[in-house]
Structure 1
């Protein structure tokens, strides 16, 4: 091999390496993230960018979203996922900017109304489903169209929740919406697999996003409760990894795996990021003690 070819190979390898020396897993990929302005979406956008992806953030939080997009060399678009035309416009932005869409992360969602099922206001439920369920369907629909046309497959990832796995973790409306997301993702995976498009879900638990922290503030009556305190509570009572709370970065790493070629044979799967909470009960540790 000539010296020039070695230099070229070295430059190409460097382009696929992160600053910490690890291989980039999304080099040249184009990713659209709804609800990407903060929380899990923002953490995922940053991680994707570190791994070489071109990022489009679609959100209704314009200032936060635009600032983040600029900081990672991406693009921002105001997008209300309840409106199909907004989601379609976000997908079209990917095509006009780069000519392709490889990854769709349907992350946008709201908490919705709490309270008794006997007092559930149907107009409030309708508003929640418009975002949490219809918004995901819009994302799958329009991402799939361009991925099929592109002929190179793709990865569609939807955010669900531990609330879709067991009852009593969230409001009735939120639980309903997150269970529905599991269903549409699995159904879409059955159709889109023939086009090389993988459809998966990530189900977090106890992640101290603004949504969860606000809920804990109301429940505990502590308006000054910080995200770190919520993470500590989860680590003590909502995880088998005692003392280890969840973080938005934990979820972002799971999304990165499903988006990358490392998960090339993974589809119709629900990757649960819960510290084992939905798989085991950790409050009877005395049964493991000898004598």
Structure 2
């Protein structure tokens, strides 16, 4: 049964990490949830089971966010299931790091496809479909301002996300839709930990006043705030990094 009274959130990258935490948090806040996943169906189904067990309404949808038809299908499926769209959380992304002089064009093109093209396509569909009072929330990175060597191409793609976020917020004038970006610092996710040894992780964790990595649920707290209906925060990038900047 479609729930036309409950708010609905589409969350890309919702099977793991920050996306998973955001899906579970928004479900606990009473949202219908559409969890979009790229390849890990088992993880997406596990998130859906967690939400259903807690009494929430959820669907999972396979989606390549760099593919126009896939993204349209994702939003069509969410609206068919729940009857409306209120919040989009664009968590899907990838991170490859390395010195610029050694970075391959192929690796760069992949980051552009996922982090820039994907954000463009998802934001475009969200802008067309979101109900008044809704929110579009993109994910950037604190690495852009921390200027850590090796993060250049990745931070470059996230700078584009921040630019789109600000301009889209202004383009939606009169629609009562907020558009913001959340920029996490180093967070304990598979994506961040991939390829890093224990010593490097501890070194990075020691760069903030709390001397630890962030937790996905701490990022989800800020996402939930932006989704909650606050209307006087829009066009902003909110850094969530424990004071690392």
Q: Give the TM-score normalised by the residue count of structure 1.
A: 0.76
Question: Partner of 1:193: helix, strand, or coil?
Answer: coil
Deviation of 1:122 after TM superposition, in Å, equals 1.4
Deviation of 1:183 after TM superposition, in Å, equals 0.5
Q: Distance in 2 between matches of 1:122 and 1:234?
A: 27
RMSD between superposed Cα atoms in Å: 1.8
Q: Distance in 1 between matches of 2:25 and 2:173?
A: 26
Q: Distance in 1 between matches of 2:133 and 2:13?
A: 23
Partner of 1:23: none
Question: Partner of 2:124: helix, strand, or coil?
Answer: helix
CA contact (8 A) 1:29 1:102 kept: yes
Q: Unaligned stretches of 5+ in structure 2?
A: 53-57
User: 1:8-61 CA deviation, whole Å, 9 max, x = no partner?
Assistant: xxxxxxxxxxxxxxxxxxx82100000000111111111111111110000121
Aligned length: 235
Partner of 2:236: 269
> Higher relative contact order by CA 8 Å / sep ≥ 6: 1 or 2?
2
CA contact (8 A) 1:199 1:267 kept: yes
CA contact (8 A) 1:206 1:238 kept: no
Distance 1:210 1:244, change over 3 A: closer
Tell me which of 172, 181, 189 is aligned to 2:161. Answer: 181
User: 1:63-114 CA deviation, whole Å, 9 max, x = no partner?
Assistant: 11022113313100001111121111111112101110000000001112x3
Q: Unaligned stretches of 5+ in structure 1?
A: 1-26, 221-229, 279-291
Q: Distance in 2 between matches of 1:197 and 1:245?
A: 32
Question: Partner of 1:202: helix, strand, or coil?
Answer: strand
Deviation of 1:188 after TM superposition, in Å, equals 0.5
Question: Partner of 2:197: helix, strand, or coil?
Answer: helix
Tell me which of 134, 140, 143 is aligned to 1:160. Answer: 140
Q: Give the TM-score normalised by the residue count of structure 2.
A: 0.90
Deviation of 1:234 after TM superposition, in Å, equals 4.8
Tell me which of 20, 32, 40 is aligned to 1:42. Answer: 20
Question: Partner of 1:164: helix, strand, or coil?
Answer: helix
Tell me which of 228, 233, 242 is aligned to 1:260. Answer: 228
Tell me which of 125, 140, 157 is aligned to 1:142. Answer: 125
Question: Partner of 1:238: helix, strand, or coil?
Answer: coil
Question: Partner of 2:92: helix, strand, or coil?
Answer: coil
Tell me which of 60, 80, 85 is aligned to 2:64. Answer: 80
Partner of 2:194: 214
Tell me which of 228, 243, 251 is aligned to 2:219. Answer: 251
CA contact (8 A) 1:189 1:267 kept: yes
